[in-house]
Structure 1
Amino acid sequence: MPLDPALAARMADADFWPRYLLEDDDTYDDHFDEDEDGCAKDDVDDEDDEDDEDEFQARFALDGAHALLLDISLPFTTYDLHLTAPGLPEPVQLGWDDQAHFHPHVLRWAELDRLARAFALTDPQLRHPGPVLALLARFTVLDEHDDPDAITPLLDAAFHHVRPGAATEGPRPETRDWWELRNLAGTGLTWVTREDGHPACDQPDDLRTDLPLYSLRTVDGEDFPFAAFAALTARADDILADVAAHPALADPAVRAALERCTAPDGHTHLPALATAFDAACHTHPVLQRALREPHSRAEACWAVETLAALTPGELARRWFGPSALNGARHWDLNLELPTLARPFRYARHLTDDLTGRLKAAALGHADLNGGTISYGPDGAPVAETSRVQIRIRDDLAAGLTLIAATLATHTADPAAVLKYATYPYEVVELP
């Protein structure tokens, strides 16, 4: 089933992906404007109502019975993932993501990749890597066994395909944001086999971590449809196996061309493979397009991997080499900023300036994340303190220098305190 045309059109709008990926910083003070004196003015009543039609459902189907349903509510930034499968009288929720009580840890990367390949083979509109990866990556959880060398090229290509106007160099900002948010390596996350034979995730309750597991797919989970989900992934595996068993693959010319394509420079031999397929009467439109007119090298890569029955990710490592995410580091900081007697949007302006400087230097980003507010005699809100969440990437010293320069530019209160956002929350000295 192709994507709903309304959703496909909405995904092409400039503001869709920033909203879907929560790149826009919608904090409490967005409900207020400043008057000409810099004081807060409540404008909530003046705002237009959210577009009630800005809600969609994406249906990714393997056949008439096996499908994933993604409900998208942009006005409320809530995203729900459901499963339909034989034996289920109605769609069953697998997980959800929002800004409150999220449970987004549903899929392993290998499952998402295999499902996306099978969806693409079933529906030519769902090119892989493309909308399936870009939309469902938020429902994926990573651990120590997930290799950035195999993952980065696909996710970079997926986001470039759905956001062609954004930067093309990888790792893309969306890929890195996702990798840091969904990577639970080092947090005690393990996958175990339940008594019914289905894999489930687990994390020790007593382990202090800033990335806890939020999942219905746990060892003692009673609400997750384990058997039905296994049927979905088994159906996807059957689709991929059928492709690898096509009679044309027994043709000697096809085998020779395919072998050349599995080498580190194999992408240079794609035209010869496509020609060999034509001669052997292999006419699958999705695979022919992936070989002849791929939107990225990654699209051709998964097609060759599938045809050659290689382990997913095996050829990506050869064609693309080491990922820049190998060895990547980041530090999360909290800035407590006194803002009493400042213009109401003072903290917003400072944060926007800081995140602009950090992004320009490829050093991270900053987000305003609440604080304390009181109300004056006239009922106008007064921001007493503001909290700024800051992520520094790869070079902590350079990031701290930018923070110090930004605070100086905005003549920040000397009482401002910067701390690590992780236990034991130590104070960070600025240069």
Structure 2
Amino acid sequence: MVISAGRDLIRRIVLDYGFWDGYLDRPWEDFDDDPPELATELVLLTAGAMSLEVRMLQNPNLMTLFLRQGDELLPELGYDDDCAQFLPWTFRWLELEYIARLAALRDVQLRHPGPLLALLSRFTPLTTDEEVRAARPMLAVALDLLTEGPPLPEPRFGPTLPERLAYQLDHWDCRELRSGYRWTSSAEGWALTEAENNGWGSLTIRSPDSGEFPFPQWATFMNDVVAAYRATIDPRWRSVPALRTSTSTRDDLDPMELADQLSTAGCDHPVVLRALRDPIDPLETTWALELLYGEEPGARLRNRLVE
């Protein structure tokens, strides 16, 4: 059965120590007996006629990403398998931002940066220093947010929860710095290229001239995601005084005052107002301001984040 992925379910998957056993190379002899298999299939986001889904198998650990169009599962987008081979690199950082932001706008449990970012970060290679500077603080907040809620069982052996979260932050996507991977635009769409063959082979299905990656469907899906994200904001909200008199590069905007003005103008979106009045971190307010200003994700962050 395919189910929708809420914060609590994603949190359990990301923090379940069984999910991390393989990735942290915990030896099999540490088990008293073979751990049980656990299969889960989640709908992460629906946009237009397609849904982004993840199929997970634990013990052994395997995550596979798909697009579903109606009743049809399209070819794999990428997969992460700790037992044999992995081809995880699927998303551009900007794409992950749009996906996680739209999901957060639709589900008050899925704050951003939050659990969806934590779950899909392993599918998002960072190919530039600018991406690293923007992404690491976002993931740090997302992982910290996962610790809120009822405690999950600690493992009988192996790393503690803080150690597991530190591993996720330090091994963002198994990418060695300056590995030569870069996103390039082609007639098919954005593809991931490798400057030098390191002997391991490419770590993505989304390579140029790939006959496996569903480039047209992915482009359609992302267009629908971006359109739905932008349509969240009523254009009338952008006429409030606080937004008219402040710019994206100024720091004198008062988020609480802006929230009050938006409410007076008819904005009742709980995610937008909460990001301004009660953010989990300043980064949550920042992405909400980018949305309100009509800016591309990361525009304000690039002005604020430093190494």
Shift in Å at residue 172 of structure 1?
Answer: 5.3
**Is residue 2:136 matched to residue 1:152?**
yes
Task: From 280, 290, 295, give the equivalent of 1:305.
Answer: 290
Relative to structure 1, is the Cα distance of residues 8 and 108 closer, same or farther in structure 2, using a 3 angstrom cutoff? closer
Instruction: Verify: 1:223 aligned to 2:212, yes or no.
Output: yes
Q: Cα 1:234–1:277, aligned 2, differ >3 Å: closer, same or farther?
A: same
Find the aligned partners of 1:154 and 1:9 in 2 and give their Cα distance: 16
Task: Give the alignment partner of residue 203 of structure 1, picking from 190, 194, 201.
Answer: 194
Structure 1 residues 6 and 116, CA gap change in structure 2 (3 angstroms): closer
Q: Distance in 2 between matches of 1:261 and 1:219?
A: 36
1:7 maps to what in 2? 9
Out of 36, 40, 43, the position equivalent to 1:51 is: 36
CA drift at 1:26: 1.9
**Cα distance between partner residues in 1 of 2:249 and 2:51:** 31
Change beyond 3 A, Cα 1:109–1:211: farther
Give, in whole Å, the separation in 2 of the partners of 1:57 and 1:157. Answer: 26
Cross-structure match for 1:238? 227
Mapped partners of 2:141, 2:306: distance in 1 = 16
- Whether 2:180 is the aligned partner of 1:188: answer yes
Q: Which runs of 5+ in 1 are unaligned?
A: 32-45, 324-431
RMSD after superposition: 3.1
TM-score by length of 2: 0.82
3-state SS, counterpart of residue 222 of structure 2: helix
What's the CA shift for 1:284? 1.4
**CA apart distance, 1:227:** 0.8
Alignment of 1:281-320 (within 5 A): 281-319=266-304
- SS of 2:73's equivalent in the other structure is coil
Kindly tell me: are residues 274 and 262 of structure 1, through their superposed partners in 2, closer, same or farther at Cα, counting changes over 3 Å? farther
Say whether the 8 Å CA contact 2:48–2:221 is kept in structure 1: no
TM-score by length of 1: 0.60
Structure 2 match to 1:90: 73
Q: Aligned pairs, how many?
A: 292
Which structure has the bigger radius of gyration? 1
Higher relative contact order (CA 8 A, sep 6+): 2
Question: Structure 1 residue 6: deviation in Å?
Answer: 7.9
Instruction: Look up the match of 2:256.
Output: 271
Q: Do 1:116 and 1:128's aligned partners in 2 also have CA atoms closer than 8 Å?
A: yes
Output the CA distance in 1 between the equivalents of 2:89 and 2:299: 25
| Cα offsets for 1:100-126 (capped at 9, x unmatched) | 211101111111111111121223232
More strand by share: 1
SS at match of 1:73: strand
> What's the CA shift string for 1:5-57, capped at 9, x where partnerless?
9835734866266448x23x3235446xxxxxxxxxxxxxx61x4334x3222
**Alignment partner, residue 135 of structure 1:** 119
